[in-house]
Amino acid sequence: MDSLYINRELSLLEFHKRVLAQAEDPNVPLLERLRFLCISCTNLDEFFEIRIAGLKQRMEIGAPAQGPEKIPAQEVFGRVQPEVASLIASQYALLNDVMFPELAEAGVRFVQSHEWNDEQQEWLSDYFDKQVAPVLTPLTFDPSRPFPRILNKSLNFIVRLHGRDAFGRRRHRGMVQAPRSLPRIIELPEELSRPGEHNFVFLSSVIRVHVDRMFPGLDVDGCYQFRVTRNSDLYIDEEEVSDLVRALEGQLAASRYGAAVRIEIGHECPEDLQEFLLDHFNLQEEDMYLVEGPVNLNRMSTVCNIGDRPDLLYPPFTQGMPDELLTDENIFEVLSKKNVLLHHPYQSFAPVIDFIAAAAVDPNVLAIKQTLYRTGADSPIVDHLVTAARAGKEVTVVVELMARFDEAANIALSNRLHEAGAHVVYGLVGFKTHAKMLLVVRREHGELVRYVHLGTGNYHHATTSVYTDYGYLSSGKPLGEDVHKLFLQLTSLTEATGMTRMLASPFSLFPALIEKIQRETTNALAGKEARIIAKINSLNELQLIDALYVASQAGVKIDLIVRGICSLRPGVKGVSENIHVRSIVGRFLEHSRVYYFYNDGDEEFYCSSADWMERNLLRRNESCFEIRQKAMKDKIRLHLELFLGDNCQAWVLNNDGTYNRLSPGKGEERVSAQETFLANLTTSN
């Protein structure tokens, strides 16, 4: 152990291993295991597009060591690359040795080309001629026809050729690009499958088998799939930007053809063609991954949605609804009397959508203000905001255009809101708006009343069924005033001060967290009970980690539930012996952020949009709201205790940076937080 801090990239890879472990877990339903395998591959794609790309850039310019552990980029890459190679090998071994056989036994068969019978071959030949060939463009190369530009993560084939073309010139290599409009997985008709089975064929197999038809007159002596992953991080120079939308649109187009950082090639591809591709993309052998299977595993996720095989999926459940909302009263009448805490996905996100829908058509509502980070392409929330704007209400939407991989969708929804007459404000370059806030101003009895929704997760109706988050609905006057101040901060760029119920990045949240950790430290040194619990997605902020180390040395008991990256090293003698870190990985993506401080018995509970990362605390606009009602505090405390008692889906962080998965010991009660929430699902969850 060279440092008190764990490298961010290596920690993130450990998370990717935990996700892959879900795909390997025989206790997980089979199609859900396939889904986890696809998620694992998607995660790794992003790892290359952002993290590996960043490492390569730092290596190229000789940038100084970054991160709290201060490891040079070259050394980090040297440690990361074999880990990545091992992870990819594990993915394909799982697919070929376990998933394919078990899926076939269950009646979900991926039929390899050598297994096609005569009827299947005939159908696929016709399918190629009618559905595939018309949109393919075969290419050969010469000085006037250079190697084509390859789109990021697209499916391509390098083809070995022999003979002369129609113009008498010898041809040795060709290429075929598969348009993204073509489905990567093809389901064979029912009559070509065994009774009760679903039979699927990879598009890559169909193209490879029939590629000779694309090069008539030439001999095809091999066709090999490959896929290039490119640097996809966007850079906007704040000093040079005069039109953020236009600049971002330009960057989006350029990012599709960023610098290559990885190439995946079918394992049977000859060495000379491997070298040709490496040379063309300016990659080294260490950047090449030979795979035994399709190069785009994540496209297999479409198979996970088979409608007639519920036995291979997680059991469905009906989302609950808080008792407070099971009434004939409208949402404003309910919130005028009491606050409501929502726990997604166990409780429905519908009340939040209904809240916006009611506000959009209520004649007494004068204004709606909302932050949008990720919403999805067909968002009902955006529909209601458009309705409100067209009805003449003052609608202000703070849209974060720089939400990674959702930039294009956010530009589109911004244009739609603009056209409806809403005020659209873009997040400040360099300080992303990641806060989750909604404010409704309503006239009641001659006075203006503020209603708010605050959350730990995005206003995305689809992800709320698979992400765990908290949402809070209230008409409390102090809270409404705080949210009003935060919207002023976002629109006028003036600091929100004097808040009594909220903390916010980049101004008040970070110093408040440091102060609260130091308060627990002081209490511990005075012989008082001291306790900190944080449930977050990531932790890498150096000053905060150091404050936790000092607290641990003072005797503060610290439990951290960190889903992903954790740069803090627990269990170091004399430094972090009182800090325990665990990660929960299960059916749902643990996304909620909760901070708990014992505070000498006057317990404090906060829910937030912010992780304990440098970017969230110092370079983003984040919201953090206090939970004060006893019943809600008791509920959240119970939830935290369940996560800390989980011995089925919990992984414990060792001080060497690796994780061990917990399992119930002999005679020990089995505890799974997510399963418990589902088992106890009632209208008052």
Rounded to whole angstroms, how far apart are CA atoms 408 and 511? 35
The answer to whether residue 434 is catalytic is yes
Contacts of 257 (CB under 8 A, 6+ apart): 149, 150, 151, 152, 230
Q: Which residues of 501-528 are buried (b: 16+ CB within 10 A; e: fewer)?
A: bbbbbbbbbbeebbebbebbbebbeeee
For the chain, give the number of residues.
685
Residue 301 is given by DSSP the state G
- Do you find a cis peptide bond into 345, omega within 30 degrees of 0? yes
Question: E strand or H helix at 390, and its extent?
Answer: helix 380-390
* Residue 382, CB-side half-sphere exposure with 13 Å CA sphere: 25
Give 465-504 as a 3 state SS string.
HCEEEEEEEECCHHHHHHHHHHHHHHHHCCCCCCCCCEEE
Strands 650-653 and 579-584: antiparallel
Instruction: Count the neighbouring beta carbons within 10 Å of the beta carbon of residue 181.
Output: 6
The active-site residue, picked from 434, 460, 591, 639, is 434
C-alpha dihedral sign at 118, 124, 128, 130: positive
List 620's β-bridge partners, or say none: 432
Contacts of 674 (CB under 8 A, 6+ apart): 468, 584, 586, 587, 588, 649
Rama region for 36: left / alpha / beta (φ>0; ψ in -120 to 50; rest): alpha
Tokens of 173: 């290599």
Question: Which residue's entry shows tokens 């040379």?
Answer: 279
**How far, CA to CA in Å, does 51 sit from each of 88, 261, 297?**
16, 10, 20
For the annotated catalytic residues, the residue numbers are 434
